[in-house]
Structure 1
């Protein structure tokens, strides 16, 4: 078994053991795992190495790019804005961002954006990774383009566009960018362990663990062998194509890509998503009303995602429980109110509104295709909770 650092309650030792075994097998290079209940850590462990050369250990404050795990932070920020009355789920996006109404988008609502049904899953014009990080340019393109489908009718995963749209909504109603709002209104009130960043400053560079491919990176138009990605799915998820080597660039870290360039660790993810798990209040800090938390479940959209070729149920800002989730997380979650999502390469975070538990897994070994590492962590957490 690999050496594991951190703390855990004995009844949750199985979670620690999952990480130790994964590191020992070489399924992980370096990673962190956290389980919080009632806003308190019952597991906060890490191990392995922060670099491919295995010269730097993964430390307590190591952070890494978590790709679309970031969307749970973006979703939380949107729910806070809705709870404060600054946004309305069923209001047109153009109420807050008038330029967005161009080319048939006057009927696109905030709910459509958060449920991945806006008809804007990607850019019509081809853009580069640098264009994606130029928020002015890429957001202006979204404002001008027409929806690919009638808004509210097709579930198509918004790989990056949802983050850009929520960023603009946040700016229009608060004057803050999404990254600034997350830092000021979420992370700072929760304290230093809420160490998550959408737009990572130079003060964090020395503790960033760069992603290392653990499987071959598929070519631009090639689905991974274990993925049944459709041509439209390739278009949505690969244009622009943010491969692990792209995330090594300083310009990538500095940008505020709410759909996928967040940096953090499992402790930060589980602590922040405890807000969802615990009815909006964590350790005496209330960020959401109880009704505001439950709004994630309001009028979800269920269907086959044309980008992923999988059946999802999307709530407002988060994916929700369904048969697919039960298959991933195990029968212990049957019937539970879950809010979750994961990132390309392996990171994952889940909030359970019934058990008041949040679970997060953050690795630096990026893997393409089906990846069960996070599911093993979540299953061990539920087994420990049940015991």
Structure 2
């Protein structure tokens, strides 16, 4: 693992003022767990073994794992309409939207017609009511575009209707308690051990130059409820109240070790736990949405399976079998059934789409495994 550790050290060197951690499991065993840099440069606090960080959209991948566990148990049918489980959802042209449409970013509900307030953002029931009233922005199923924030409430409410439990509770039951992974959502995410997140290089340094860029930003900010980079000094996901709200699209907090352990347990028994079976993985990691999105922005673009990100020119993973999810500014968690790998990289120093830190670590890991 020496080349991987060197790539990680270079990644932290490229995070001036910040820090991060990387962890790798192979065949259920942790083979690398490293951390470096500052967890909070305001107080010169170093990153430590127990330091957790907001993982942003990596949370979506964890939500997909929970969803497919319900499919395995026969409690959820991805081809069924969302209204089968959530009857109030069928209004405003949404009666035919399937659960699969939600998972593959094809529902047409990536943003709202009117701005969301900060107070609404923190209130699950108000956001659910808003989604029930919202008309799709395109014909559902006909195209895809990334549901950056709304994804969490859409999938989360389906899970709540099916299980009777909040998504926070499911994270705790399955990941934290069941697997012993340092992964949290909701009140448990507001841990004093978490890193303070800063924007090193913003992807949004200019005003929107097209209608599509305008809508892309609306998917992130919901019209002003969140900053466009998702964090600020005392804003967005640096705030305890935002984390306590348990927004399942972006509000997860994890150590790299916890993230890697969860992904490991999807493909190999890890500490006695296997989260998904091989048949589920084969079925739910088929490509579902790829190519130019509805809100057309410059490529390369991600490729999506059923809730999971697949390897692409935008985010090269370990092999063609890899599945997982990245997160704003550089976070990455994924599994690879070919190599039996669970991978986690987290950083509190956010960068833009040119960021290669996680990619370079994955490249080094690939060279080790192929060598």
| TM value normalised by structure 2 | 0.90
Q: Deviation at 1:383?
A: 1.1
Give aligned pairs, total. 362
Tell me whether 1:305 sits opposite 2:293 in the alignment: yes
> For residues 269 and 182 of structure 1, do their structure 2 counterparts lie closer, same or farther at Cα, with a shift above 3 Å needed?
same
Q: Deviation at 1:233?
A: 1.6
1:277–1:355 contact (8 Å) kept in structure 2: no
Distance, in Å, in 2 between the alignment partners of 1:34 and 1:229 is: 37
Q: Deviation at 1:93?
A: 0.4
- Structure 2 counterpart of 1:214: 200
Q: CA offsets, 1:119-171, max 9 Å, x none?
A: 11122221034422211111110011111111111110000111101111111
Distance, in Å, in 1 between the alignment partners of 2:289 and 2:12 is: 37
> For residues 108 and 260 of structure 1, do their structure 2 counterparts lie closer, same or farther at Cα, with a shift above 3 Å needed?
same
| Alignment partner of 1:238 out of 215, 218, 221 | 221
Gaps of 5+ in 2: none
Q: Please list, as runs of the form range in 1=range in 2, the aligned pairs for 1:110-149 lying within 5 A after superposition.
A: 110-149=99-138
Q: Please list, as runs of the form range in 1=range in 2, the aligned pairs for 1:269-284 lying within 5 A after superposition.
A: 269-278=259-268, 281-284=269-272
> For residues 169 and 39 of structure 1, do their structure 2 counterparts lie closer, same or farther at Cα, with a shift above 3 Å needed?
same
Q: CA offsets, 1:224-269, max 9 Å, x none?
A: xxx9973332232332434312222110121111110111121111
Tell me whether 1:360 sits opposite 2:344 in the alignment: yes
> For residues 337 and 305 of structure 1, do their structure 2 counterparts lie closer, same or farther at Cα, with a shift above 3 Å needed?
same
Distance, in Å, in 2 between the alignment partners of 1:367 and 1:54 is: 21
1:318–1:339 contact (8 Å) kept in structure 2: yes
| Alignment partner of 1:154 out of 128, 134, 143 | 143
> For residues 369 and 241 of structure 1, do their structure 2 counterparts lie closer, same or farther at Cα, with a shift above 3 Å needed?
farther
| TM value normalised by structure 1 | 0.87
> For residues 188 and 369 of structure 1, do their structure 2 counterparts lie closer, same or farther at Cα, with a shift above 3 Å needed?
same
| Alignment partner of 2:4 out of 5, 15, 19 | 15
Gaps of 5+ in 1: 1-11
Distance, in Å, in 2 between the alignment partners of 1:312 and 1:215 is: 21
Q: Deviation at 1:85?
A: 1.2
Structure with greater proportional helix content = 1
- Structure 1 vs Structure 2 CA RMSD: 2.3
Distance, in Å, in 1 between the alignment partners of 2:163 and 2:40 is: 38
Tell me whether 1:344 sits opposite 2:328 in the alignment: yes
